[in-house]
A and B are shown apart, each in its own frame.
Chain A
Amino acid sequence: MKREIAFTLNNEEIAVEVEPNWTLLYLLREVLEMTGAKEGCGVGECGACTVIVDGNAISSCLYPVMEVEGKNVTTIEGLSKEDGTLHPLQQSFIENNGVQCGYCTSGMIMSAKALLDKNPDPTENDIRVSIAGNICRCTGYVQIVESIRKAAEKMKNT
């Protein structure tokens, strides 16, 4: 009982056939082969699958694919420019060691992007709240917070 849904994925309108019981994460990873969003737990407790839907960070592992119809979805794959130029957040994570094993990174950056899109001048606490649902086992979050803070500064000044 496949159904067709249409939505905007990383600024591109797409139509795709889905099974109604898929999650958005399943569609992204298994069908569209966009594997930036990770499945760290599958039940919304780690944040590795975070993507942005209509401006909000959500756990794509719990997001019914049928709800994506007509919406605007941004994933980590849609962040850098076509010429490969990194988004300031991506650049900052590399420069400030916000990345270690990298498994939380996609989700972490998407949570941070959702924050900065709404609040370009966040406090440290705002940053920590925005990524509190993104578990990281490597970094102790210190350099992740730093990466986001510095990216915010850079984005403000350009």
Chain B
Amino acid sequence: MEDFLYVGKDVPRTAEINKVTGRAVYIDELKRPGMLYGKILYSRYAHARIKSINTEKAKKLPGVKAVITGYDIPDVRVGFMEDQTVLKRDVVRQYRDEVAAVAATSREIAEEALDLIEVEYEELPAIFDPVEAMKPGAPLIHELDGHGRPVKSNVLPLRWTLNVGDVEKARRESAYVVKDSLTTPWINQCCLGTSGCVAEFDSVNNLTFYSQTNVIFGAKQRISRYFAKIGLKDKKIRVINPIVAGSFGTKLDTDIYEFICIQLALKTRRPVKIQFTREEEFRTLPPRQTTRFEIEQGCDKNGMLTFRKAEAILDNGAYTSWGATTPSVMMMPISSLYRVPNVYFNAVCVYTNNIYSQAMRGYGNPQASFAVEVSMDHLAEEAGIDAAEFRMKNRNRPGEVTPMGLKITTCPLDRCITTVKEKIGWDQKRGKKNGRGVGMASLIHVAGGARVYLSDGTGIRIKVDENGHVDVLSGSTDQGQGSQTVLAQIIAETIGFRPEDINIIFGDTALGLWDAGTHASRHTFIAGNAAIRAGEKVKRQILELAVEYVPKLLKSDFRKQKKKDPDFHEPELDFTLIDNPEKLDIKDRMIFAKKAPENPNFRIDVARVLNRALNVGNGESKTVMAEVFWDPPTQMLNSEMKGNWSCTYAFGTTGAEVEVDTETGEVKILKLVAAHDVGRAMNPTLVKGQIYGAAYIGVGFALTEKLQVVEGRVMNPNLRDYKVLTALDDIPVEAVIVEDPDPMGPYGAKGIGEPGLVPTAPAIANAIYDAIGIRFTDLPITPEKVLAAIRAKKQENQQRDA
């Protein structure tokens, strides 16, 4: 293994020291002079016609600076499918529809003003079940599409179909076939900091927008399109990221509250902040949507997969955000997790009067992998093969191209499976059906970017000043994963500085070069690749300066020494050792000659060289600066939904050991082992942090979390009733880093942001089956469901025996 100074080391995340001293500035801490507070009035119905809105009383409340409705702002459409307006003035289609907004001198006054707005509604029939909504003749949620054309169905005009090989033929020829139906619930991403933004216009309507977005240039583009529609076409827009308190998918799209905030700022000529309460966060933030899967797969008599067919229905809610594109990622495990030659996948997103949906960590993969992996266990049982062996037989291997066109380069899935088997005690514990059980599930995920936009690139600019300080300007963002630290490690390693010398500046469209966003587990891989390339350029520049200035520095040193000590003899030095940048290197801030690394004369602090070389005056001062835009060599999915959209793919396996209390239905997790292929771990402690955190969310997905939406209304909009796990819900999770350096990865790294979540729920479901012989296909697996199933099974057995 190569000898690295910083890559692969547990460098502490000192860059974020303000987070432990209370000085970090999130959106909630951000104040601008004269800033007002915005609040939004939401619909009181899931579906209704607005008959009238009266804002007069609210406007008269002292401290209120603006009250706006859909009649006060341009009637233009926004959103992924342009299927909604910023403020709704004719029809509301969900409880979270924004009907009016207020800007006032304090939050309290703004809230009070909301109570004074009178809205008269005429309730309309609503539809909450996507299956009902798909039926011909179902009432239409939208009568016109974004372009004003009549709409015929509640099914979104997005085609998510993949068809490879001959599934029907393969089914006929299969020795074993299983079919399962599975459902997953609404999940609130539950960032600990609630959503918020600040909009501020200057005197001529140029906008500075402080946003939590994790795609700053995407946000800028959406605002820019909006500006074009509302007559602000030529105005400048700057999007700035404060420190972001979690994202988990919520910050991909520009939310409606952000457009409202912009309108309030425009109207009042003052900076305006909107910051959600926790209740608003639950009621109005687009969650991960519900999904129903029908999955069927088969294998031959040797246990080799023959086909997989899956159909999914996603409840889109009333409008469309990026959540509607999650089928593109669902397709990945459906088509490419384990080798399966014939694949059919089809997904539909359906409008209903429920809360509209957005993406969440894993982007559809957790839902689809739940379907695939529960079905895999089912099929293994049907075929009479051990579930781990079944997976090993069908595992992905390096060099293969999957039915979706994914080119698998590195793939240590075999090691992930065997590691889990060993650590969970598979052979000793599996198949006992005594209330305790073990189960496993694996995953495939993009780990080298994901080309969802035309460009999946990122730009990075590195500049080094005369003090040896390195500033890195990047258009990426960080939501808490520690990107600054990892990027600093990579750059320090590449140039030869120390991580603490590297100052990373993220999240400012005015400073950073374009970036596709910190999503899809892409940051370390993509930005790392760009950083290495830019770092190498910077290093070359420094070494060129060194060739010129090291001899000068040495000579001046010798002169000085001679002045002090007349007996000093200048050493005879072979300057040909350093007469070319190729002959020099930098490590740990020291420049040295490659052929004489220990020669003390040629070991010079890089800062000395920079100090001497940069500000020489006489009109010849120089800069050390390089920028690189790196766009990975990948493809967008084509119309057949095929394409190698990531440079590389991550694999992993999670094993679970559970104990089921057959009297209460409670599931206790005795052990979780999460073995993940990370290419090379840039910072093992941070990598584990990603795995632990994701696994925990996965356990919540499996057992406790569900946004309870009843007839369109969120019924558990608080942290007491929405069951995010606490520190006392001790899940003994062991994170195992499986390394297989990726040739395309920066120093071999793959992305690891999302994978830990993906296989957790199916591993737990499979372990429960192993414990009690009941297959759960509806998440979360609550004690009620477990106990009811145990009872039903008992009854079934009794009837059979009788």
Contacts and interface: CB of A to CB of B under 8 A. Distances in A.
Interface of A: 34-43, 45-46, 48, 75-77, 79-80, 86, 90, 93-97, 99-106, 109, 127-129, 131-145
A139 B693 CA distance: 4
B728 A129 contact: yes
B442 interface: no
Given A38-B193, A94-B14, A128 B730 contact: yes
B278 interface: yes
A139 B191 contact: no
A103 B26 contact: yes
B726 A132 contact: yes
B194 interface: yes
Nearest to A46: B719
Nearest to B29: A35
Contact of B720 (A45, A79, A101, A131): A45
A40 B278 contact: yes
B686 interface: yes
Interface stretch (B62-70, B150-158, B258-266, B476-484): B476-484
A117 B403 CA distance: 59
Interface string B24-54: 1110110000000000000000000000000
Contact of B727 (A37, A41, A75, A144): A144
Interface string B173-209: 0000000000000000111111000000000000000
A128 B446 CA distance: 34
Contacts of A135: 192, 719, 724, 726
B17 A94 contact: yes
B193 A142 contact: no
Contacts, number: 159
Contact of B21 (A40, A45, A79): A79
B28 A38 contact: yes
A141 B20 contact: no
Nearest to A127: B727
Given A43-B278, A128-B730, A96 B192 contact: no
A94 B20 CA distance: 8
Closest 3 CB pairs of A and B: A36-B22, A101-B480, A102-B19
B756 to A, nearest CB: 9
Nearest to B685: A97
Which of B25, B194, B692, B730 has the most A CB atoms < 10 Å from its CB? B692
A128 B480 contact: no
A128 B727 contact: yes
Contacts of B724: 135, 137
B22 A143 contact: no
B685 A93 contact: no
A138 B278 contact: no
B685 A143 contact: yes
A137 B245 CA distance: 10
Contacts of B248: 137
Contact of B693 (A39, A86, A100): A100
B434 to A, nearest CB: 27
B212 to A, nearest CB: 11
B727 A105 contact: no
Contact of A103 (B193, B688, B718, B731): B193
Contacts of B246: 100-101, 103, 137-138
Nearest to A39: B28
A148 to B, nearest CB: 10
